[in-house]
């Protein structure tokens, strides 16, 4: 029965009648994949429910599990993009039911294949995350929920954490598609990912102390990049909201971070920084 189901959906996909598979397994929530329990030196496709980016595509994905490339030399989900592999994609298992406070987060880095030095992205190089939501068994329109490109990528050989809210998909199940792009011809680099999590953050109550004003400096450069400098070597999370309260950006850094705001609307933004449970708020004007 399952074999007939897979063949039917594959046939429909090839004919262009459907663009996504129906949920066929029990959805997971919360979801966390650190890749350390998976088999290294093999494609991620077929491991722990991960699938080809085209669901039942004929060509196996080149996104693989690598040892020694994850956080603290653990395992990662990685792909090396080049002229031979300019693009690829992979899908998570079915995840849900999502809640009003659900979010997807992951750690990533983009480095040169031979040296592991930071890599500058070009053109449309980088990756995108797309959600394939379902209301029960019924598919809904897919949507891009976030991307890393030359506009917002921070060149670093270390891992960076990014987070995207999923509250708009409350009560739904979903697949998440990671699509990878080389950018310009001749560009060659590796995208490493670790600790992919879909969950809702734990909310704590109580008062928090203010971060000392000398610890974190936030300012806008002449070309409207938002610059963060931290006098302490400490992990700091950042949330940026517009004046309506809409979350525009969420990320993390240690000593230094810059955010390209070229595509943002001009005006005032509220920035919340959290460091070791200490919270501070900043305002910045983009002209």
Distance CA 257, CA 226 (A): 8
Return the pLDDT at 7: 34
Q: How many residues does the chain have?
A: 287
Which phi and psi angles does 185 have, rounded to 5°?
A: -60, 140
DSSP for 161-172 reads EEEEE-GGGTT-
Distance CA 247, CA 182 (A): 29
DSSP for 178-239 reads EEEE--STT--EEEEEEEEEEE-PPP--S--PPPPTTTEEEEE-TT--EEEEESS---EEEE
**Helix, coil or strand: residue 262:** coil
Return the pLDDT at 142: 95
Which residues make Cβ contacts (< 8 Å) with residue 232, sequence separation at least 6?
215, 275
Structure tokens belonging to residue 204: 């704590």
3-state helix, strand, coil in the chain (%, to 5): 5, 45, 50
Return the pLDDT at 233: 66
Q: Are the CB atoms for 197 and 108 separated by under 8 Å?
A: no
Return the pLDDT at 22: 62
Query: pLDDT by residue (tens digit) across 210-224?
Result: 444 446 778 777 677
Query: pLDDT by residue (tens digit) across 255-264?
Result: 778 888 888 8
The candidate with the shortest Cα–Cα distance to 29, out of 91, 85, 102, 89, is 102
- Which helix (H) or strand (E) segment is 145 a member of? strand 143-148
The candidate with the shortest Cα–Cα distance to 87, out of 116, 115, 128, 49, is 128
Return the pLDDT at 12: 36
Structure tokens belonging to residue 243: 């004046």
Return the pLDDT at 207: 35
For 216-286, CATH gives 2.60.40.3080
Return the pLDDT at 210: 40
Return the pLDDT at 10: 39
Return the pLDDT at 66: 96
Structure tokens belonging to residue 172: 């739904």
Name the architecture of domain 24-199: Sandwich (2.60)
Q: Where are the domains of the chain?
A: 24-199, 216-286
Return the pLDDT at 176: 97
Q: Cα-Cα-Cα-Cα dihedral of 245, 250, 253, 259, to 10°?
A: -80
Residues of the chain with pLDDT under 70: 1-24, 56, 201-215, 222, 232-233, 277
């Amino acid at each position: 029965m399952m074999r007939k189901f897979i063949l039917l959906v594959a046939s429909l996909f090839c004919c262009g009648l459907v663009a996504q598979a129906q949920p066929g397994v029990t959805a997971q929530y919360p979801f966390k994949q650190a890749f350390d329990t998976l088999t290294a030196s093999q494609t991620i496709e077929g491991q722990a429910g991960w699938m080809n980016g085209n669901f039942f595509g004929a060509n196996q994905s080149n996104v693989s599990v690598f040892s020694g490339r994850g956080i603290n030399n653990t395992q990662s989900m990685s792909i090396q993009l080049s002229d031979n592999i300019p693009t690829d994609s992979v899908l998570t298992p079915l995840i849900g039911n999502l809640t009003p406070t659900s979010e997807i987060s992951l750690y990533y880095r983009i480095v040169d294949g031979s040296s592991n030095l930071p890599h500058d992205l070009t053109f449309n190089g980088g990756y995108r995350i797309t959600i394939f939501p379902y209301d029960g068994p019924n598919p809904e329109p897919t949507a891009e929920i976030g991307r890393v490109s030359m506009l917002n990528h921070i060149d670093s050989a270390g891992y960076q954490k990014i987070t995207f809210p999923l509250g708009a998909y409350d009560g739904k199940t979903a697949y998440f598609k990671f699509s990878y792009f080389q950018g310009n011809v001749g560009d060659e680099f590796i995208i490493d990912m670790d600790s992919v999590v879909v969950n809702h953050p734990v909310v704590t109550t109580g008062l928090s102390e203010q971060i000392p004003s000398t610890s974190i400096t936030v300012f806008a450069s002449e070309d409207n990049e938002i610059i963060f400098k931290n006098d302490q070597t400490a992990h700091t999370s950042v949330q940026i909201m517009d004046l309506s309260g809409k979350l525009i950006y969420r990320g993390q850094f240690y000593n230094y971070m810059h955010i390209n705001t070229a595509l943002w609307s001009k005006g005032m933004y509220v920035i919340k920084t959290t460091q070791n449970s200490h919270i501070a708020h900043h305002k910045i004007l983009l002209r």
